[in-house]
Amino acid sequence: MTVAVPRISVAALPRVVGSTLRVPLVTGERVEYANLDHAASAPCLEQVRDAVDELLPWYASVHRGAGFASQVSTKVYEQARTSVRRFLGARDTDAVVFTRNTTDALNLLARSVPKHTAVILFDTEHHAALLPWRGPNVRRLRTPASPATAVLDLDRALREAPVGPRLVVVTGASNVTGEVWPVAELARVARRHGARIALDAAQLAPHRPVDVRALDVDYTVLSGHKIYAPFGSGVLVGRSDWLQAAEPYLVGGGATSRVTDHGDRLGVAWSAVPERHEAGTPNVVGVHALAVACDVLGRSWEQTVEHERALLARLRAGLATVPGVHELALFGAEHDRVGVVSFTAGGQDVGYLAAALSAEHGIGVRDGAFCAHIAVHRLAHGERALRASIGLGTTEEHVDRFVAALRTLVTEGSRWEYELRDGRWAPLNDERALPPFLR
């Protein structure tokens, strides 16, 4: 069944690497891969790949080399801070600290907050935002029933928080439901109580513009692999005072301005932010990829948002026609969301469904609890869920094939036999060959 929603033009969209990838099925056929797992890792933009290829001949050590290639690499690395700052609408005074990913960035921030800081967050956060905060001054608020409830709960929690430094940690968009959180409203509450606010933009930044100044947040984190730059880089952008006062996140070369020998001890003068928290040889390739992705997305928001809204409407309308499917939601079916949909399927094993969608239909989705166990457990009433997430590489054919395949699996079952291997379902007698570079 094809769901009638407005057709869109994708001609002006940034293109992704692998858009023509064909994958083998257990039946012996090959089909175009339908990647509906963008929420985990987005494919590489063609412009990012080209920029990386252009940089590689010039690749050299950053900040420490007199050679011309080192000067080029250093220039590329430092210019990337400008691209990221522009992409997020950050303040000129904000520090831009490059990390490995969102998890790394949030752990860095957690290590940098002043001692005895009261930290308040909702327990439905992704584990990257939920787990770094420990100790008696951390308060986790339960799943709110609505955006208004979230604002009221935060206001109450801040009124009850200990005197001293305070930090609120919020997500921009749920990686489980795709729902957009009321970040600006939560920031206003934080300001009223003298608290700072940190935004986990990992799921929001690939889908919508993020404006740090308009939202009035103090810290923002995101990952390159979520915004079509899968080369191992992330970033923490925000106010520099706490970061400057903290001990380096990692210690080593680059984090120091001077080391002296005092016999039984070393004298160490730490570098200023951002180098203070970027010890070791920087990932200049990953940082350049991240910066290029920011530049490309920043020029393409109108087309990107239109593309995803049309496909999301098509996806959700199609899922509503599949027997037993129950879409997960924090704030309700009509709440604004990005291209992420999670659901249960009438008690059917979602791991089995994910395996069959891949093996028999060439569709990649995610099953489980998506590193947000508390949220999924509550919303799915103790079950695991299936998640389909769209992005720049998604087409109408991908969405329609997914809906049709899911309906067939739910109503008629799979055509192939499967078995559990190390806790995961896998097709029996799977003769699909790996690509040549893995043989």
Domain map (residue ranges) of the chain: 22-45+300-438, 59-298
The total of other beta-carbon atoms located within 10 Å of residue 436's CB is 6
Q: Is the pTM of this model over 0.75?
A: yes
pLDDT value, residue 11: 61
pLDDT value, residue 302: 95
Cβ-contact 20, 395 below 8 angstroms:
no
**Local confidence band at 101 (pLDDT 50, 70, 90 cut-offs):** very high
pLDDT of 231 over the 70 cut: yes
The helix (run of H) or strand (run of E) holding residue 270 is strand 266-270
pLDDT of 6 over the 70 cut: no
pLDDT value, residue 381: 94
Between β-strands 22-24 and 30-32, what pairing exists: parallel, antiparallel or unpaired?
antiparallel
DSSP conformational letter for 290: H
Is residue 294 annotated as part of the catalytic site, yes or no? no
Cβ-contact 284, 77 below 8 angstroms:
yes
CATH number of 22-45+300-438: 3.90.1150.10
Cβ-contact 40, 389 below 8 angstroms:
yes
Which of the residues 371, 373, 396, 410 is marked catalytic?
371
What are residue 295's DSSP bridge partners? none
pLDDT value, residue 135: 86
**Local confidence band at 241 (pLDDT 50, 70, 90 cut-offs):** very high
pLDDT value, residue 10: 56
What are the start-end ranges of the H helices in 246-395?
284-298, 301-319, 350-361, 373-379
What does the pLDDT look like over 387-418, one tens digit per residue? 999 999 999 999 999 999 999 999 999 999 99
What is the rounded distance in angstroms from the CA atom of residue 410 to the CA atom of residue 234? 39
pLDDT of 260 over the 50 cut: yes
**Local confidence band at 263 (pLDDT 50, 70, 90 cut-offs):** confident
What does the pLDDT look like over 358-387, one tens digit per residue? 999 999 999 999 999 999 999 999 999 999
What does the pLDDT look like over 164-191, one tens digit per residue? 999 999 999 999 999 999 999 999 999 9
Across the chain, how many H-helices and E-strands are there? 13, 19
What are residue 223's DSSP bridge partners? 234
pLDDT of 296 over the 60 cut: yes
What does the pLDDT look like over 270-293, one tens digit per residue? 999 999 999 999 999 999 999 999
Architecture field, domain 59-298: 3-Layer(aba) Sandwich (3.40)
For the chain, give the mean pLDDT: 95
Q: What is the mean pLDDT of residues 207-214?
A: 98
